Structure 1
Amino acid sequence: MAETLTSIQLSDDKIQIVNQLVLPHTTEWLVIDTIEQAHDAIRSMKIRGAPAIGSLAALAFSQHLARALRSSPPPDFLSSPEALKAHVSQKLDFLFTARPTAVNLGAATRRLARTLQTSSDAGKDARKIAEDLVEDGKQIAAEDVGRNKAMAKWGGDWLVELVKGNGASGDGLNVLTVCNTGSLATSGYGTALGLITHLHETGKLGRAYFTQTAPYHQGSRLTALELKTLQIPSTMIVDTMVGSLFQHHSIHAVAVGADRIARNGDTANKIGTYNAAVLAARHNIPFIVVAPITTVDLDVADGSGIPIEHRPPLEACIVRGALYPPSLDQQGNKAQAAIMIPPEGLDGIYNPSFDVTPAELITAIVTEKGVAVKGSDGRFDLSNVV
């Protein structure tokens, strides 16, 4: 079961991803052999989570160039730095189109573009430039786990001290999260779910609460699986139960991830996050955003400049899961089905994948460099955490 908590597996030249569309009932590993397959996996949400898709894009790109370097005869794009630059730029531009809201994908492609330029400016030949790009792509993925553990500790320890400062013990903390921000959304450990894991590991967590996160149900399918596997006490709620939860239970914080954070602290995250933030503000519950530096986009002044991905309308109409009572298919897996909920032919279906939470509703923004809170002017200064 523990292997299902890994979004990407690497073995020499082989890249595999766990198909998150069929979790938690079936563990299916998909081989990623080309940049086009990586693009499709990201676009179709077979892999999701801003850090994870950035890692997959970088690894698929590295795989593509590594194979070119080993091929005989070599492809034409290795004939000169100019030919390589044209080829690489086209591939990076293509990868970037897979999902527009998650800034980590753009951060990965921009970093590789900078490596391309730096190596070219140094006068290296095409093969050496390609070797530099291969190593940098691998490094993008390798860096993720360490920074996730760092931000989880920063955020978890900050919350404990905040609660203590309000006169409580700092023990038995109950934290609500939205969507899935654990190992399945990253290269390991997780961001907001990493904060919850850190609290559990240090004996400070009471219970984790998580929303189902419709329409894709990343909470009920993926977060539930991770928390169950890690044996973290948890309770699932329907998205529309957040207000009721806050009314009737002691919740010490809401911790969420982010797909993009604007310069002023406005944050795009999975649809439903804004709802939770508004309700948290009503109940004076701290609202914490946990995300890597690569998610902060200082080129975007505020949330109005964040592109919001709209998914196909059909995805809001269909629920996929295991048949109940359970039955097994010929491979011994639980049989699954896709179920259409509304009547066909509806005139309008609104299906944004993300919403934007205004900075005024956010208590703290946590990265691997530390915790940012608002100053006396009520504004975030993110310069110390990026």
Structure 2
Amino acid sequence: MALESIRYSDGKLEILDQLLLPAQNKYVSVKGVEDGWKVINRMQVRGAPAIAIVGCLSLAVEIYNEQFNDKKSLRQEIEGKLNYLVSARPTAVNMKIAADELIKLSNELAINDDISVNEMKQKFLDTTEAMLRKDIEDNKAIGTNGANAILQNKTDGSSVRVLTHCNTGSLATAGYGTALGVVRKLFEMNRLEHIYCTETRPYNQGARLTAFELVHDKLPATLIIDSMVSALMQKKNIAAVVVGADRVVANGDTANKIGTYQIAVVAKYHNVPFYIAAPLTSIDLKISSGEQIQIEERPQREMTHVGDHRIAAQGIKCWNPAFDVTPAHLITGIITEKGVFKPDEMREKVSEFLQTGK
């Protein structure tokens, strides 16, 4: 049975508490926007696609169980609470894009005299609930596009070894995954020899979450510590690196989990193709370069402690950015549900799709 990080039905939302994995599988009820903000900020749910889905569905839960006398009050609630949810973790762009689209929808519905307040409410709920289905469809398309890109020069039918960083699977999305979706597709095609995953300090998403998914799905996998990447590429004939993204900007620069940038540098040195796997909802054409991306900084305790056990010397200062930015020139291709783009062609291709839908 596939892992589910998000469960939603008829105005009821639960998320798998990822702070407890892999030791414990526990679902937490999200009863509204305050709960949604907290589970995102505390990283009980994480992964850019999942953050957007849970944030929007937490508002859907509130609206599902509330009656509105007029469209103006409904529109104001949608706008105010979506903007509040964006503040929970600002680096990942998916929540911001989803909020902007839903606010635009509510504004259009509010001024349409042919639509009642109840119809407006239902349209908002239908649109929000559809995010779950669409995310899985997009992830499967990303998986196919990415697998084909990695295998394009493997005409002999041989299998490949790949490396990933952080967690980009069912636990970070509605299901299947982005970068891990590419890995899953390679496995389905009988072309995956091995997948290596980094531990992803300081929060250990690779060791706790990606490794958990790989074992669950019985994929041929090995966990390495973050400082082993250079040695891995030197010794193990890695065919490609594929990672996710929290934000891809117009020139192709990409923000992702801290440690991604140094993996890209090492991949360049070893002539290993380096791919970003991300849905169009992770692409922010409003920002011209990575220098403008707001980087979230996390609490020192994430570095100084493992659980309740302190591992760092008392009194040491810590710098704990959650993300870094990989420059476009280190990226081989950006894998989306609509195709694989080189960073220097992404702006044009994505703009064309957003304008035409094709």
Q: Please give the TM-score of this superposition, normalised by the length of structure 1.
A: 0.88
Q: Which amino acid aligns with 2:87?
A: T
Cα distance, 1:170 vs structure 2: 4.4
Residues 1:342 and 2:284 aligned together = no
Q: Which amino acid aligns with 2:145?
A: W
Residues 1:50 and 2:48 aligned together = yes
Q: Is the Cα contact below 8 Å between 1:370 and 1:384 reproduced in 2?
A: no
The C-alpha deviation readout for 1:138-196, integer Å capped at 9, x for no partner, is: 112221000000011001011111344xxxx2422000000000000000000000100
The C-alpha deviation readout for 1:321-377, integer Å capped at 9, x for no partner, is: xxxxxxxxxxxxxxxxx221112222x211000000000000000110001025xxx
CA distance in 1, matches of 2:169, 2:202: 19
Q: 2:235 aligns with which of 237, 248, 257?
A: 248
Residues 1:370 and 2:335 aligned together = no
Q: What is aligned with 1:383?
A: 348
Please tell me the root mean square deviation across aligned C-alpha atoms, in Å: 1.3
Q: What is aligned with 1:127?
A: 118
CA distance in 2, matches of 1:319, 1:212: 13
Q: Which amino acid aligns with 2:230?
A: G
Cα distance, 1:129 vs structure 2: 1.8
Q: Which protein is bigger by CA-based radius of gyration?
A: 1
| Structure 1 runs not aligned, ≥5 long | 70-77, 321-337
Could you say what secondary structure the match of 1:226 adopts? helix
Q: Which amino acid aligns with 2:143?
A: A
CA distance in 2, matches of 1:361, 1:316: 28
* Residues 171-182 of structure 1 aligned to structure 2 (within 5 Å): 171-182=158-169
Cα distance, 1:118 vs structure 2: 1.4
Cα distance, 1:237 vs structure 2: 0.5
Give aligned pairs, total.
350
Q: Is the Cα contact below 8 Å between 1:161 and 1:170 reproduced in 2?
A: no
CA distance in 2, matches of 1:305, 1:163: 38
CA distance in 2, matches of 1:261, 1:226: 25
Q: 1:361 aligns with which of 325, 330, 336?
A: 330
Q: What is aligned with 1:101?
A: 91
Could you say what secondary structure the match of 1:99 adopts? coil
Q: What is aligned with 2:35?
A: 37
Q: Please give the TM-score of this superposition, normalised by the length of structure 2.
A: 0.95
| Structure 2 runs not aligned, ≥5 long | 354-358
CA distance in 2, matches of 1:17, 1:345: 36
Q: What is aligned with 1:19?
A: 17
Could you say what secondary structure the match of 2:28 adopts? strand
Q: What is aligned with 1:219?
A: 206
Runs of 4+ residues deviating >4 angstroms: none
The C-alpha deviation readout for 1:18-60, integer Å capped at 9, x for no partner, is: 1000100111111111110011000000000000111111111
Q: Is the Cα contact below 8 Å between 2:147 and 2:186 reproduced in 1?
A: yes
The C-alpha deviation readout for 1:224-252, integer Å capped at 9, x for no partner, is: 01000111001111000000101111000
- Over the matched positions of the two proteins, sequence identity in percent amounts to 40
Q: What is aligned with 2:356?
A: none
Q: Which amino acid aligns with 2:185?
A: H
The C-alpha deviation readout for 1:193-212, integer Å capped at 9, x for no partner, is: 01001000100111000100
Q: Is the Cα contact below 8 Å between 1:148 and 1:194 reproduced in 2?
A: yes
Residues 1:304 and 2:291 aligned together = yes
Q: Is the Cα contact below 8 Å between 2:11 and 2:60 reproduced in 1?
A: no
